[in-house]
Amino acid sequence: MGSPISPRILLCGERAVTIEFAERIDRDTNARVQRLAAALEGRLGSAIRSLIPAYRSLSVHYDPMACSYERLHQAVEACLAEDAARADAGEKDCGRTVEIPVCYGGQFGPDLAELAAARGLSPQQAIDLHSGGAYFVYMIGFTPGYCYLGGLDERLVTPRRKEPRLKVPAGSVGIADRQTGIYSIASPGGWQIVGRTPLILFAPEQADPFLLRPGDTVRFRPIPAEDFGHHQDR
């Protein structure tokens, strides 16, 4: 493989910049986004108002009274150089692995049977495929704590619903195209719902309100419907 493309630093007004890494979406690119976010937070501290990592870019909102654009630009360049040096030394990312229990099908996954039939699978085969893989958390967005997961088996790739639902329950696990997502709160949505987790993904009263973070690896574990209420603690 060749060397990673040098990111572009784009001005977004007087208090923000966006660092774009590539024109493609892949795990290596997203890992670079996550590493830069962590490095900038460690280097600039309270001068950073917020960091918004996406699939292939990082938006940085900063306090211009505490950190000039020139200082921020220098910090970005320094962090990128350090990251490149660590990559050359063969250092690997060490994100968390989080197991998510899921009740598939029935009242918890109303789209599972139809999705499976459209893909030439039985519902159990679809469950086995979906729960058999490891998923990478690319980003958090849409609603607080909603996670976008890459790594879906190609045999489950399915477009969004033609008519979105007005309300999808919190914890619902959905499929849209090549992604899996987990609804963190009840909200409208058009993803194909195959199951639901009893875990709470967004708990605003806690110091760390999000169950999942960008860079985590997720594994789904099927559980029977009668066990749903036994897993509702964070």
What's the pLDDT tens digit per position in 46-86?
Answer: 999 999 898 899 999 999 999 999 999 999 999 999 988 87
pLDDT at 4 over 60: no
- The side-by-side arrangement of strands in the sheet containing 48-53 is 8-11, 16-20, 57-62, 48-53
Residue 3 lies in a domain: no
> Which domain covers residue 142, as residue numbers?
97-231
Looking at the chain, the whole-number percentage of residues with pLDDT higher than 90 is 74
- Report the predicted TM-score, pTM, of the whole model to 2 decimal places: 0.81
pLDDT in tens, 201-213: 999 998 889 999 8
- The reply to whether 77 and 153 lie within a common domain is no
Residues 114 and 208 in one domain: yes
- Number of domains, the chain: 2
111 and 208 inside one domain: yes
Sign of CA dihedral 105, 108, 114, 119: negative
- pLDDT confidence band for 190 (50 / 70 / 90): very high
Identify the pLDDT of residue 232. 60
pLDDT at 208: 87
pLDDT at 158 over 80: yes
In 3D space, the residue among 149, 56, 154, 143 whose CA is nearest the CA of residue 98 turns out to be 149
- CATH number of the domain that 162 lies in? 2.40.100.10
Same-domain pairing of 198 and 215: yes
Look at residue 2 and tell me if it is in a domain: no
- Condensed to tens digits (0 to 9), the pLDDT of residues 95-128 reads 789 999 999 999 999 999 999 999 999 999 999 9
Which pLDDT band, with edges at 50, 70 and 90, does 229 fall under?
Answer: confident
Torsion of CA 146, 202, 38, 174, to 10 degrees: -20
